[in-house]
A and B are shown apart, each in its own frame.
Chain A
Amino acid sequence: MGLTVDNLHVVLGKRAVLGGVTASFVPGRVTAVLGANGAGKSTLLRACAALLPASGGQVMLDGRDAATMPARERAQAIGYLPQDAAVHWNMTVRDLVRLGRLPHGDDGVEAIAAALAATDTAALADRPVRSLSGGERARVLLARVLAGEPRWLLADEPLASLDPLHQLETLALLRAAAGRGTGVVLVLHDLTLAARVADDVLLLKDGAVLAGGPAAAVLTEANLAAAYGVRVAILPHAAGPVIVPQGRA
C-alpha cells in the first residue's frame, strides 16, 4: 500500500531525466525530494501524479498502476500543486478553491469550508484572486488542493516566493495534513527548511536516487556534498538543524 515508484525511467525530449528511480512514500509522513537543479525532482513529482509518461518502470498507487487507473479516481487520490502557480482568470477565491472538488463532482461544501479554515483564507473567500498578496495566493492555491481531500499531496516548491513567516505557516499546514494521514511529498530547495519539516528525505542526483530514508540519516555532510557539490556545515539548533553551504566541495 502507499505510493511507490518502481525503477522509473522518464525521457523528456531526448534527455533521460529519470534513470531508474525506486522509492516509496508513506501515508502520514512528509517526504522532501531534494537535489541540485536538473536532478529530476519536479519530473519525479509530475510522473508520480501521472502527468508524464514513464518510458520504463511504473508508479504504483495502493497496489495499482497509476498510469492506467481511471483519471478521475487518480485525481481523487492525488492532489498536485504545480510550481507555476498561474491563475489565468481573475475568479474569486471560493470559485478557485471549489475547483479542487472537480474529481469528486460534488459541491463539497464542508471540504471547501475546512480547506479555507485550515489555510486561514475563509475571510478572503469572496475576493478576486488578483487582489491577493503573494502569500495569500499561495495559501489559496494550497486550499484548492486540500479541498479535494487527497490521500497524497504532491507539492512542487510550495515555499518559493514566500517570506519566512509564510514559509513557516505553509510548512505547518503541510505537517498538519500529514498529521491527518495524508502522505505529503514536497520538492524543496531550502535544506534547513527541509530538515525542519521532513520525516523522510529522497536525495536525487542526475535522475537517480543518491540516498533515501529518515531525514537525519540522509542529510549528512557527505550526502549533501555528493548531491550538490557543496561543502556544508550542519549546526544543531532547537528548531532543527541549520544547514549552511560553505563552498565548493
Chain B
Amino acid sequence: MRRKALLVGLAVLVVALFAASLMVGKAVVPLSAWWSGDPRWAIIAELRLPRAGLATLLGASLGLSGAVMQGWLRNPLADPGVLGTSSAAALGAVAAIVLGGATQWGIFAAAMACAAGGLALLAGLTWRAETPAAFVLAGTVLASLAAALTMFLISIAPNPYVVAAAIDWLMGALTDRGVEDLTHAAPFMLAGCALLLATGRSLDALTLGPDAARSLGISLPRLQALVIAGAGLCVGAGVAVTGVVGFVGLVVPHMLRPLSGARPGALLVPAALGGAALVLAADIVCRLAPGAGEVRLGVAMALIGAPYFLVLLLRERGRSWG
C-alpha cells in the first residue's frame, strides 16, 4: 500500500516536472501554446521535448544504476562511477573532440567504444574475482587511467577552442541536445535499465552475504554480468550524450531508501523514477539561471548533492556524538 503510494507519487512528480520542463526556460511557453498553433510550439517540439526526454532517461538510468550498484556492493556510498565506466566514456568523447572533427555522432560512437573497452578491461582485471572489493579497485585503476589520458589529450589539444570544447563537454549538460542525441542514447539506456531491473531478487538475497545468497540458488556470476553490462550501458550512453553528470546515482537511492524500505530490490523502480525527477528538476533550475547562459547540469547536480550529504553527515553526527 505504502509502496504503491510511493510509486504513484514519484510517477506524478516525473510527469509534472516533464511538463514543467517543456514550459520553462529563457522563454516561458504556456500550456495553451501547445495546441493553439502558436509558433512558439517549435521551441517545445524541437528543443525542449528531446531535452526533457533525455533528462528523464538519463536520470532514470543513473538513479537505477546507483541503486543496483549500492545493493551489489552492499555499500550505501557506491555509485555508478566506481566501475570507471563514466571516466572511460569521457575519455572517448574528449578523444573525439581533440583528435577528430567532433561530429555529434563521432563523439557518441567514441564514448560508447571507450566505455565498452573499459568494461572489457574491467572484466579482464576482475576475472574470477570473489569479492566486490576487486571491482572497486579495478574500477579505480580504470578511472585514474582514463582521467590521466583525458587530461593528456586536453594538454596536447591543437588550439584553445578545442580545449574549451572538451572542458565544456566534460562539465555535463543537456543544453542544445537534439532528437539525434535522444535516439542515439535511448536504445542503450533502455537496454541497460532492462538488465538492471532483472537484478532485484539477487540483490535482496545478497543482503545475507554471498554464501547465503548462493545457497538460495542465486548465481553470482550472472548477477555480476547483469550489473556490469547494465550499468555500463546506462552510464556509457549517458556520458556519451551529456558529459559527466555525477551525484544522481549516489544521492537518489539515499533519498528514497527511507521511503521504499531497505530491501535493495524494492528500491530499484523508485530510484529510477526519483532519478528522472531529480535530473528534470536540476535541468529546469539550470535554465532559470539569470543572464544569457545556463548553469551546467553537472555543476548543478554537485551543488545539490554536496549540501544533501552535509545534512546526512550532521544528522549522523547528532545521532552518534550527541
Contact = CB atoms under 8 A, between A and B. Distances in A.
Check if A and B associate: yes
B208 A51 contact: no
B217 A72 contact: yes
Interface string A54-98: 000000000000000001101110111110101111111001100
B218 to A, nearest CB: 7
Contacts of B219: 71
Q: Which of B205, B206, B208, B264 has the most CB of A within 10 A?
A: B208
B187 interface: no
B201 interface: yes
A99 interface: yes
B176 interface: no
Nearest to B209: A86
B263 A91 contact: yes
Contact of A80 (B74, B215, B261): B215
Contacts of B261: 91-92, 95
A84 B263 contact: no
A46 interface: yes
Interface residues of B, number: 21
Nearest to B211: A82
B264 A89 contact: yes
A49 interface: yes
Contacts of A87: 207-208
A51 B215 contact: yes
Interface in B207-230: 207-209, 211-212, 214-219
Contact of B217 (A86, A88, A103): A103
Contacts of A79: 215
A20 interface: no
Interface of A: 46, 49, 51, 71-72, 74-76, 78-82, 84, 86-92, 95-96, 99-100, 102-103, 128, 141, 144, 148
Given A78-B215, A91-B207, 6 more contacts: A75-B217, A81-B212, A82-B209, A88-B207, A89-B207, A128-B262
